[in-house]
Structure 1
Amino acid sequence: MIRIDARGKSCPKPVMMTKEAVDQGAAEVEVLVDNPVAAGNVTRFLEGRGFRVTREDTPEGTLISGIAAGSVSGGAGSAPKGVHDASVSSAPGEQCCCTASDTGLLILSRTMGTESLELGEALMKAFLDTMRQSGSIGVLALMNGGVFLALPESSASDTIREMEAQGTQVLVCGTCTKHFGITDQVAVGTISNMFEITEQVFRMPKTVTIG
């Protein structure tokens, strides 16, 4: 068992600390974090590596426990009382994101072009509508000014929500939303971190950057 205290660490440090432990062969890890964004990031990372994950809120912070597939800890059965099982499984016939899509799309601005804000927003919405219809986007990452596309008042937010419903993984840069003070306003996608965004976008056969 490896225990990691990632409280007070800026994104994506909690994930990187967890990754280091997993890469060293740890079959069981416990990670203590002090904010929900870090808890979500670490949980998704461990699940992506095949760990069974549980989360428990404690006076010290959120404790995330991960057990690698095939490992046994504490006997068989359900998670301990008071512990939330955060593992995610797909329903029968449910398509995992990126299964039929081959492009990672990284958007760095809320508009396409800078000459006209109104025109740029219209072009961005039209572009995303076209990408949604093509079904080719496996991962959509929003960074810098692109995070504003995930706000409810954005004309593109409904399109992004439809893309997500179709199976596109939508990642929103948490450092960026924190910088702009809009984290609580994000209406679509998952608040993420630089490590997860780069790993997911650039694992796709093709990548496109806008902005």
Structure 2
Amino acid sequence: MFKINALGKACPLPVIEAHKALKDHDAIEITVDNEIATQNLKNLSEEMGCTYDLTKESDTHYTVRLVKEGAAAEEAAAPQTSGDDYTVVINAPVMGIGDDKLGKNLLKTFVYTLTEQDVLPKRIICYNGGVHLVVEGSESLEDLKNLEKQGVEIYACGACLNYYGLTEKVAVGSITNMFRIVEMMRTANRIVKP
């Protein structure tokens, strides 16, 4: 059984590590330090057709075992490739409404998690406050560069970059205009907005 120590790792890292391991192993054991991680791993087990076994060692030590169930599990774990293209639209430097510090961290985690998906987005469009992600010093810059290297198109609104004085600091993707943004959003198969 392949073992993973995810103690001290924040969501969604335990799920990402388990998902990766299940691509190469039929059974894994992952140690986490919070109950939310165990619930997220249970959801993963259902999505991938695995059996789920939880042992609570203490309030900060849980061991989860995931075991694939035959050929049906292999089919469920296979990446989907047809009809699943999607466009991600980011229009703020934070994710959600509430505490901005939390929102900034959530958005950084969201962009990183995109890099770990079986089906990458076709494109990422940034406008208004979202253009802060594509410039020098952005905490998401390396993840966006990684996505671009894998073929994801990244666009930033030129008018928005000008408004924030960031045009000269763009470090990933292409500068575009609102006409093109509307066209890309109008013709997108699906739009995902954090």
TM-score by length of 2: 0.54
Partner of 2:101: 118
**Aligned pairs, number:** 113
Paired amino acid for 2:133: L
* Other-structure match for 1:173: 157
Partner-residue secondary structure (3-state), 1:120: helix
Match in the other structure for 2:85: 102
Give RMSD over aligned pairs: 2.1
Uncovered stretches (5+) of structure 1, i.e. residues with no partner: 1-98
Deviations, residues 71-121 of structure 1 (Å, cap 9, x unaligned)? xxxxxxxxxxxxxxxxxxxxxxxxxxxx98600111100111343232211
Equivalent residues of 1:150, 1:187 under 8 A apart: yes
Q: Is the 8 A contact 1:132 1:163 kept in 2?
A: yes
8 A contact 1:101–1:136 mirrored in 2:
no
Unaligned runs of 5+ in 2: 1-81
The 3 A distance-change label for structure 1 pair 138 and 101 is: farther
- In percent, how many aligned pairs have the same letter? 31
| Deviation of the 1:196 alpha carbon | 1.4
1:136 paired residue among 115, 120, 125: 120
Pick which of 140-149 and 125-134 moved more: 125-134
Moved segments of 4+, more than 3 Å: none
Q: Of 183, 186, 203, which aligns to 2:170?
A: 186
- TM-score, reference length from structure 1: 0.49
What per-residue deviation string (whole Å, max 9, x for no partner) do you get for residues 153-203 of structure 1?
Answer: 111111111111111110000000011111001111101111112222332
Cα displacement (A) at 1:126: 0.9
Whole-angstrom CA distance in 2 between matches of 1:144 and 1:204: 20
In 2, distance between residues paired with 1:163 and 1:121?
A: 19
